[in-house]
Amino acid sequence: MTLGSHITELQKKHDQLSDQVEKIQSRPSADPLKVVSLKKQKLKIKEQIARLSS
């Protein structure tokens, strides 16, 4: 796997997590712990992308 394709895959995963967070938060019975967990995963991926891009 090349660096560019790895970054692309990480960006896709980040986008998927964003979608999940939006869906969960749009529900009246949103689980705040699940939202926090997903946001932490998003942050880790964002940091990986930044590290690999620099």
**What phi and psi, each to the nearest 5 degrees, are found at residue 11?**
-65, -40
pTM equals 0.88
Give the model confidence (pLDDT) of 15-25 as tens digits: 999 999 999 99
What is the count of structural domains for the chain? 1
Rounded CA separation 45/49 (Å): 6
pLDDT of 1 reads 79
**What phi and psi, each to the nearest 5 degrees, are found at residue 9?**
-65, -40
If one counts every other C-beta atom within 10 angstroms of the C-beta of residue 40, the result is 11
Give the domain extent around 36: 3-53
pLDDT of 33 reads 95
pLDDT of 30 reads 87
